[in-house]
Amino acid sequence: MQSPGNSTPFKPEEAYAAAAERFFELMKTFGMGSGKAGDWSALAGPLASQFERWLQMSQAAAPWLSAARGAPAGFSFGPPAAAPFGPLPLGPAAVPGTQMPHSFELLGRLAQLQGELAKHWSEIAATAAQRFIARAGAIPTVPTTPQQALKLYEQWVSCAEEAYAATVHKADFAHLQAELTNTTAALLAEQRQQAETMVRAFGLPTRDEVDALYRQLKELRQQLADLGGSAAVSQADRSAQRSSPPERAAKSAAAKPAAATKRPARGRAPRASKAKRGRGPRR
């Protein structure tokens, strides 16, 4: 099953090589590989589309969405292929109709939001290219030394990051980002719901049941800890009474009601009833 963060694990060699590849792609756009000089204004279009492609490809600003690229596992947009024989109504075949309409609704919403995100990428890329062209006016178009190439590259990164920051700090972008994540999460929850139905049909424990067990376990642990705490308090009180000189014993006695109030009533009652229940059969 997918989860919202099942993005591809980092592979350093690939990341280094990919960065180098994009660097050379940019240098070629500057005419470095061919040696053909162009004028800066003509580069705005190619630069913008290159950057926009990269943003879309990396989904850089929306890592939460990696799971939602395309339809989730187990989903298909077309009708199911007709089967010559239907399976017997046992196990998964006994699962009643799934909530596909809602899933499709979510997928539709996701596609719409991704369309909105694409507009932001487009805006960022165009702004970055314009900024770069405006600043690069004095620099020769084709870098003739590695130093010139790197200077241009640094300039490009600064312009691109500035354009990116200007957009991604805006409230509408932040809202879109959250909406995309929430929709992806809702889609995942929907998938899980369907899987749970399937799991139940096999008589296997569902996530909801496991969670309920966990809550019970947590509660029991808490009760145990509370009981341990009150037992320690009682023992300390008894030791204090045994070893204290008369005036300290008097103080201890005076303090007892306060200590008693600290003992959690809810922790004691279950122990008493549980102990009684437990002793019965043994006797």
Partner 1 sequence: MNVSGAAAGTAFTELALQIGATLTRLRAAAEVTVGCSAKEPVWKCGKTTLYRYVPLTASRGSAPLLVCFALVNRPYVLDLQPDRSLLRRLLEAGLDVYLIDWGDPDDADRHTDLEQYIEQHLGGSVEHIRSQSGGAPLNLLGVCQGGVLSLCYTARHAQAVANLITLTTPIDFHTPENLLSKWVRGLDTALLERCGNVPGSLLNGLFLALMPLRLTQQKYVRLLTSQPDQRALEDFVRMEKWIFDSPPQNAAALAQFVRWFYQENCLVRDTLRIGGQRVSLRDIRAPVLNLYALEDHIVPASASMALGEHIGSRDYTGCAIPTGHIGMYVSRAAGAEVPARIISWLTQRS
Cα–Cα distance, 43 to 38 (Å, whole number): 8
Residue 36 Cβ vs partner 1, minimum distance, rounded to whole Å? 7
Among 47, 68, 133, 142, binds partner 1 (CB under 8 A): 142
146 is a site residue for partner 1 (CB under 8 A) = yes
Q: Which of residues 152-211 bind partner 1 (CB under 8 A)?
A: 153-154, 157, 160-161, 164-165, 168-169, 171, 174-175, 177-179, 181-182, 185-186, 188-189, 192, 211
Toward partner 1, which CB reaches closer, 40 or 64? 64
Cα–Cα distance, 225 to 267 (Å, whole number): 9
5 is a site residue for partner 1 (CB under 8 A) = yes
149 is a site residue for partner 1 (CB under 8 A) = yes
**DSSP letter string, 222-266:** HHHHHHHHHHHHHHHHHHHHHHS-HHHHHHHHHHHHHHHHHS-HH
Toward partner 1, which CB reaches closer, 3 or 241? 3
63 is a site residue for partner 1 (CB under 8 A) = yes
Which x/- pattern, by CB under 8 A, does the window 78-107 give for partner 1?
------------------------------
Alpha-helical regions (H) of the chain: 12-29, 40-58, 100-136, 146-168, 171-201, 207-243, 246-262, 265-282
100-136 and 146-168 helices, crossing angle to 10°: 130
Q: For the stretch 56-81, what's the b/e string if a residue is b when 16 or more beta carbons lie within 10 angstroms of its beta carbon?
A: eeebebbebbbbbeeebeeeeeeeee
Return the structure tokens found at 163. 């354009």
Contact residues toward partner 1 (CB under 8 A) are: 3-10, 12-13, 15-17, 19-20, 22-24, 27, 31-37, 55, 58, 60-64, 66, 140, 142-146, 148-150, 153-154, 157, 160-161, 164-165, 168-169, 171, 174-175, 177-179, 181-182, 185-186, 188-189, 192, 211, 214-215, 218
